[in-house]
Amino acid sequence: MQIVKHINELQAILDNKRQEGLSIGFVPTMGALHAGHLSLVEKAGQQSGFVVASIFVNPTQFNDKGDLERYPRDLQKDVDLLEPTSCQLIFAPEADEIYPEPDTRQFNFGNLEQVMEGKFRPGHFNGVAQVVSRLFEIVQPDKAFFGLKDFQQLAIINEMVRKLELPVEIVPCPIVRETDGLAMSSRNMLLSKEQRLNAVLISATLFEATNKTGELNVEELTYWVINRINENEYLNTEYFEIVNSMTLQPIKSWNDPCLKVGCIAVQCGKIRLIDNVKIDN
């Protein structure tokens, strides 16, 4: 497995792989890897001839400098985790390699970015679009693999690919969870022991909510989820929305003809956790 820090070296390697007839699978990450990331890499290995994973903590998608500073970084640990996987090359650039000049592009994703994460993290998705489009420009993958835990981000990336007419297939991959149900996240390692024990209430509440559509309407279920989580002294719900999976707009009724997803963000101390679950009715 190769570790590359510079674009010209990366592109020379990938050009050779393409000449060998290999397709390029790409897994962009911000490091602090866990089994969820590794599952994306394995999926890429199943569908691609050559797998690249990037490790880059992108400053432009953090609207909170404290959140950026707290984000865990351990490149050697990440390399060790990727070594036995399908990953064949790690691209680990510095910020000035990705942004030799400030990226001033402004993306407009309309209603997709006005709700949930976009509402509570202004500028976040513009930063995501900047870095993902830049990485796609550099790597030029045939397929790129993203986890469904970041449900709204996946919708934004799909829209960005459509708008920019990029020749890459976006492959969504299932949420990977801890044995107790908590969605795997790089931020989980920042939780204290007590916070970690209580954070499992987030996923447990979402799972229970999927069984209540017959007794509660959309508004009632929304309040039930928020109140149940907020009763825990370690947790504070930032939002819970039951949305149309395509438009990300809140639904009004179980009769709305769409796939419905319950999306949540919860503060656990200073750590912000997100999750989602499909809701059938």
pLDDT in tens, 179-193: 999 999 989 999 999
What are 3's strand-pairing partners?
90
234 pLDDT band, cuts 50/70/90, is very high
Task: Evaluate whether 2-173 and 186-275 have a shared fold.
Answer: no
15 pLDDT band, cuts 50/70/90, is very high
**Average pLDDT of span 219-242:** 98
pLDDT for 70 equals 78
Fold of 2-173: Rossmann fold (3.40.50)
pLDDT for 59 equals 83
- With a cut of 80, say whether residue 281 has pLDDT above it: no
**Average pLDDT of span 29-48:** 96
- With a cut of 80, say whether residue 67 has pLDDT above it: no
**Average pLDDT of span 8-13:** 98
pLDDT for 74 equals 86
What are 104's strand-pairing partners?
none
Residues in contact with 242: Cβ distance below 8 Å, sequence separation at least 6, in sequence order: 218, 221, 222, 250, 251, 260, 261, 262, 263, 279
**Tokens for 6?**
């510079």
Quick: pLDDT tens for 140-153. Answer: 999 999 999 999 99
Residue 188's CB is within 10 A of a number of other CB atoms, namely 19
Quick: pLDDT tens for 76-112. Answer: 999 999 999 999 999 999 999 999 999 999 999 999 9
Average of per-residue pLDDT values in the chain:
95
**Domain layout of the chain by residue ranges:** 2-173, 186-275
Query: Which CATH code for domain 186-275?
Result: 3.30.1300.10
Q: In this structure, are residues 165 and 243 in contact, taking their beta carbons and an 8 Å threshold?
A: no
262 vs 189, which has greater pLDDT? 262
**Cα gap 54→57, rounded to integer Å:** 10
Backbone φ and ψ of 226, nearest 5°: -60, -45
65 vs 124, which has greater pLDDT? 124
**Average pLDDT of span 157-184:** 97
Residues in contact with 16: Cβ distance below 8 Å, sequence separation at least 6, in sequence order: none
Which residues are known to be catalytic? 37
Quick: pLDDT tens for 250-260. Answer: 999 999 999 99
